Amino acid sequence: MKSLKKKRRIQIISIAAVALIASTALIGYAMRDGINFFRSPSQIVAEPPAPTEVFRIGGLVEEGSLVRGEGETVRFNVTDGGAVVSVTYTGILPDLFEENQGMVGTGTLEGGVFKATEILAKHDEDYMPKEVVDALKEQGVYQEPDGS
């Protein structure tokens, strides 16, 4: 009688383990397109991603690079102090978007130009996304806000 209970317990544990592994694999498979990796301009220049890969770019909008085109198309450069990547975006930019300010964009790299589908800008004078701050610090161009 004891060996039958032991067998049943082992079977239940085995089935639960297989179900857990299968559900984890399915969740990972479903999320693979929803994960956007962050890259700085220096990382993009060093190792350009595949043209179909959706990722996030962050850095400072280079001064003097903002050019408004026909309609809602805007062109500008993003830099981290070490490299510069050209960006095009069709749409309405956030109100706080301006030159020499931090930004994060989501999109793809096509022919060396980042085609953004979404642009996020800082939301107050002191805020900058952590990834952007880390990339700028790595290049040695980040300046701490005054705090005054």
The per-residue pLDDT for range 54-94, each reduced to its tens digit, is: 888 988 888 888 888 777 889 999 988 888 999 999 988 88
Kindly report the CATH number assigned to the domain that includes residue 135.
2.40.50.140
How far, in Å, CA of 57 to CA of 37, rounded? Answer: 9
pTM: 0.63
Residue 148: pLDDT above 50?
A: no
Domain match, 24 and 61 both: no
The pLDDT assigned to 17 comes to 96
- Mean pLDDT, rounded, for 105-125: 84
Identify the domain containing residue 25 by its residue range.
1-35
pLDDT band (50, 70, 90) for residue 22: very high
- Mean pLDDT, rounded, for 34-53: 83
Contacts of 42 (CB under 8 A, 6+ apart): 80, 82, 83, 135, 138, 139
Amino acid (1-letter code) at residue 38: F
Is 23 within the bounds of a domain? Answer: yes
Is 65 within the bounds of a domain? Answer: yes
Domain match, 73 and 113 both: yes
C-beta neighbour count of 15 within 10 angstroms: 10
Is 146 within the bounds of a domain? Answer: no
What is the per-residue DSSP string for 115-132? EEEEEEE-SSSS---HHH
What is the per-residue DSSP string for 6-65? HHHHHHHHHHHHHHHHHHHHHHHHHHTTT--EEE-HHHHHHSPPPTT--EEEEEEEPTT-
Pairwise pLDDT comparison (30 vs 125), residue with the higher score: 30
Residue 95: pLDDT above 70?
A: yes
- Mean pLDDT, rounded, for 107-129: 79
Contacts of 146 (CB under 8 A, 6+ apart): none
Structural domain count, the chain:
2
57-93 burial, b if ≥16 CB within 10 A, otherwise e? bbbbbbeeeeeeeeeeebebbbbbbbbbbbbbbeeeb
Residue 122: pLDDT above 70?
A: no
- Mean pLDDT, rounded, for 20-26: 94
Domain match, 30 and 41 both: no
Contacts of 147 (CB under 8 A, 6+ apart): 126
How far, in Å, CA of 89 to CA of 37, rounded? Answer: 19
pLDDT band (50, 70, 90) for residue 146: low
